[in-house]
């Protein structure tokens, strides 16, 4: 009889434990009705930094000859950067490549042969004085740079602009949630959760070496747009 009672008690404990584990988790969304919206805020600033990728492509009958020509041109380019007051931290090698140039048989009966070599060396340069950017591009080309992949603009210290965009994004989220709550006959409460996504957009004018024959390169930095998207979940307050 004692063994039977102990067995029944054990079954009761296991059953009670299983029921406890089977209960659904206490999710905040189930206990607190809410509205989730996405707010957007933008702030605009004038760029004060330019990022330029410049490089030199040289060719030669041998790899050594092509490399020597490239080193000479890149040496002049790096010397110019330092003379202009551009610090070493503001330029960095982005690409270096040595590759053969092949000559193909028109009849396609013979395998291609190496006709020479090509060396490419490119650096990313950060120009902090936009007023000198046009002159900088002119001089890079005159010193032998024949690859300019593009120019992008940026704001050196975007913290204040991001804060402005955050305020606008939160106000936009509050406005949207208020409209939904009013349309549904609900009373809007405070925010339960806030998630942010940040980004920035700017025009990216592209400059190529063949477009730089003019005495001066016109540069239009435009305006930098910093965007904040914020996902906010607002509580619904019982209006009774």
Q: How are strands ordered across the β-sheet holding 224-237?
A: 34-45, 224-237, 187-201
Quick one: CA torsion of 59, 62, 66, 68, rounded to 10 degrees? -160
- CA distance readout (Å), 83 to 45, 78, 88, 207, 230: 30, 9, 11, 23, 45
Closest by CA position to 136, among listed 227, 216, 193: 216
Task: Burial-class residue 137 by CB neighbours within 10 Å (0-12, 13-18, 19+).
Answer: buried
Consecutive H or E run containing 68? helix 63-83
Contact between 77 and 56 under an 8 Å Cβ cutoff? The reply is yes
Determine the Cα angle at 71 with ends 70 and 74, to 5°.
85
**pLDDT digits over 58-100, tens only?**
999 999 999 999 999 999 999 999 999 999 999 999 999 999 9
CA angle 117, 137, 226 (to 5 degrees): 110
pLDDT tens digits for range 3-60: 544 444 444 434 443 333 334 444 444 467 899 999 999 999 999 999 999 999 999 9
Categorize the per-residue pLDDT at 1 as very low, low, confident or very high, splitting at 50, 70 and 90: low
Closest C-alpha to 169, from 62, 63, 38: 38
In order of their start, the domains of the chain are 27-46+157-202+223-240 (3.30.110.170), 49-154 (3.30.70.2970)
Q: What is the largest CA-CA distance in the chain?
A: 108
- 117-126 pLDDT tens trace: 999 999 999 9
pTM of this structure: 0.63
- Tell me, what's the pLDDT at 221? 78
CB 46 within 8 A of CB 153: no
CA–CA separation, 25 vs 16, rounded Å? 17
Please return the burial class of 13, using the count of CB atoms within 10 Å of its CB with bins 0-12, 13-18 and 19+: exposed
- How do residues 135-184 score in pLDDT, each as one tens digit? 999 999 988 899 888 788 999 899 999 999 999 999 999 999 999 999 99
């Amino acid at each position: 009889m004692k063994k039977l009672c102990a067995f029944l008690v054990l079954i009761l404990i296991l059953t009670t434990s299983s029921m406890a584990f089977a209960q659904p988790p206490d999710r905040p969304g189930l206990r607190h009705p809410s509205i989730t919206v996405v707010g957007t805020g933008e702030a605009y600033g004038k760029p004060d930094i330019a990022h330029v990728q410049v490089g030199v492509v040289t060719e030669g009958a041998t790899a050594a000859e092509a490399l020597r020509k490239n080193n000479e041109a890149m040496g002049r380019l790096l010397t110019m950067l330092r003379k202009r007051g551009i610090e070493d931290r503001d330029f960095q090698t982005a690409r270096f490549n040595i590759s053969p140039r092949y000559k193909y048989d028109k009849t396609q009966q013979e395998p291609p042969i190496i006709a020479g070599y090509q060396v490419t060396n490119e650096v990313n340069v950060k120009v902090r004085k936009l007023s000198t950017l046009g002159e900088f591009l002119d001089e890079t080309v005159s010193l032998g740079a024949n690859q300019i992949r593009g120019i992008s603009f940026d704001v050196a210290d975007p913290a204040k602009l991001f804060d402005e965009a955050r305020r606008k994004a939160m106000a936009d989220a509050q406005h949207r949630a208020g409209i939904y709550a009013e349309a549904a006959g609900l009373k809007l409460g405070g925010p339960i959760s806030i998630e942010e996504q940040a980004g920035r957009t700017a025009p990216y004018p592209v400059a190529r070496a063949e477009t730089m024959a003019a005495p001066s390169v016109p540069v239009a930095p435009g305006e930098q747009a910093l965007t904040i998207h914020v996902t906010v979940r607002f509580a619904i307050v019982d209006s009774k």
